[in-house]
Structure 1
Amino acid sequence: MSERTRSLAVLGDGEPAAAVRSAATAADARLTDRSEADGIVAVGDAALRDAMRAVADGDARPVPVLPVGGGRHAVEHDFATDRLGAVVDGLGGSAASFDGFSRVAHPVLAVDGAGVDRRRFAAADAAFVTAAPARISEYEIAFSDGESVSVRADGAVVATPLGSDGYAAAAGGPAVSPGGGLSVVPVAPFTTRPGRWVAPDGVRVTVEREEEPVALVVDGTRRGTVAPHRAVRVETAATVDLLAPTSE
């Protein structure tokens, strides 16, 4: 009996995504949507975040995702198209690595609580930001070990390793490797010695002042206004296997 044809979903627009689709067809993969795919190729940051949220939300099967682009965790476009055949051949297996690629588990955050219209998923980060420019609020950040801190700042951001070199890094946070936890960073804190933390799995963030409205921004999109004195949970909800090239 012949081995079944592997199916691949290619997310993204423009010529780079079109070239990946052509390479997938040449590798005898069947192009399909993400809900039926054995693997996903995400071309560009937006497509990658969309793919990871879809897997966490159940809109896509829990399959490996190949990120293509220029980011820290992405594969260069030419390398991806050249080696796509190896990716297709490795789909469907459970091995941690196969023919030049390894699976690296990346967390996806669930964001839920007061002021959130429904449970949201974040591949990169969840940020709490005062709605009025140049105004501060006060935030309690509670960690899973029972410790908590209170900070006065323009906002606070909780980032996955994927997002730790984005908004969180611009606010002064560390770049975190996969498996290293979540970067938790105050934004423009009202202190000369700001704290920055790496949380193992999640935090609860509470706005402690009512004077200024605070917006919740999930992966760069505003998702409502946070109610004061009521905690918003930001915690790891799922992990998605991203494919990374192994060293030759």
Structure 2
Amino acid sequence: MSDSPVGVVGDPAVADRLREAGVPVTTGTVDSVPTTERVVTVGEPAVRAVAAAATDPLVVPVAAGRGVRSVSRDDVATAVAGLDEAVTEHHPLFEVSVAGEDVGTVVFDVTAVTAEAARISEYAVETTSDSVGRFRADGVTLATPAGSPGYARRIGGPVIAPAESVGVVAPIAPFQVNPDHWVVSLDGLSVSVERDEATVALYADGDEVTTVACGETARLQQSGALRVAVLEASCSRFH
């Protein structure tokens, strides 16, 4: 293993565990990400912070979900010791804009949903060259491969492996008997609100970032990739 320090974001106890194993460590926070070549990210917020920082380290996700092949806290020292033999997965990252204004960077998913309970709206989803679907529903989730085992899976979407730009479109409680789910390129994908019946909130990786008015469009644009180390201790994304 390299003698250069390993950054740790998200849990000081994990940093302490690595120090006890003889690993040189640089600690950081979600607001101050280390500039080390290798970073251990504990939890989804830490993964998102490193992605947004655009420092391009090799990331070891810990307790951050199946989509990024996390390792457990108990296995973190073994995982870091084996980094020189790791396989690298590249997870696409996307910038989200509404009405032309940037609202955030997405690692896992973007969700548009009516802000009021028991209200639905109508959504149109389009790629850069085709209409994907138009439907009435509580909302819609656009999930990256990293996000596909999460909320999108719970509402019927498939789990997919990392691939450039590819992701899942999954309606939320659609007003139809047999709803479709789609695997499409997320680069340039847009969602527009077609009915002025309810306030639609937009969430990026679980955080509400803005609202989308009737006639407005939320659009994804690929902005890079997150490099994730896959090791013997990494969990499967499929089970």
Long gaps (5+) in structure 2? 234-239
Corresponding residue to 1:84 among 71, 80, 84: 80
**Structure 1: where are the runs of 5+ without partners?**
56-60, 88-97
| 2:129 equivalent among 145, 148, 151 | 145
CA displacement, residues 128-171 of structure 1 (integer Å, 9 cap, x when unaligned)? 00010111100010013323321110000001111111111111
Distance 2:64 2:27 in 1: 25
Within the alignment, does 1:114 sit opposite 2:113 as a pair? no
Q: Could you tell me whether the CA contact under 8 Å between 1:129 and 1:215 is conserved in 2?
A: yes
Q: Distance in 2 between matches of 1:143 and 1:124?
A: 19
Measured on the aligned residues, the alpha-carbon RMSD in Å equals 2.2
Counterparts of 1:17 and 1:45 in 2: how far apart (Å)? 17
Q: Given the two structures, how large is their TM-score scaled by the length of structure 2?
A: 0.85
* 1-structure distance, mates of 2:27, 2:42: 15
Residue aligning to 1:31: 26
Q: Which whole-Å CA distance do the structure 2 matches of 1:8 and 1:41 have between them?
A: 7
1:140 to 1:21, Cα distance in 2 relative to 1, 3 A: farther
Q: Hey, what's the Cα distance between the residues in 2 that align with 1:115 and 1:136?
A: 25
**How many residues of Structure 1 are paired with residues of Structure 2 in the alignment?**
224
Distance in structure 1 (CA, Å) of the matches to 2:130 and 2:121: 23
> How do residues 98-177 of structure 1 correspond to structure 2 at under 5 angstroms?
98-99=84-85, 101-114=86-99, 118-177=102-161
The answer as to whether partners of 1:9 and 1:37 remain within 8 angstroms in 2 is yes
Q: Distance in 2 between matches of 1:70 and 1:125?
A: 14
Larger Rg: 1
TM-score (structure 1 length as normaliser): 0.82
Q: Within 5 Å, which residues of 2 pair with 1:190-201? A: 190-201=175-186
CA–CA distance in 2 between the matches of 1:62 and 1:51?
Answer: 8
Amino acid at match of 1:64: L
Task: State percent identity of aligned pairs.
Answer: 33
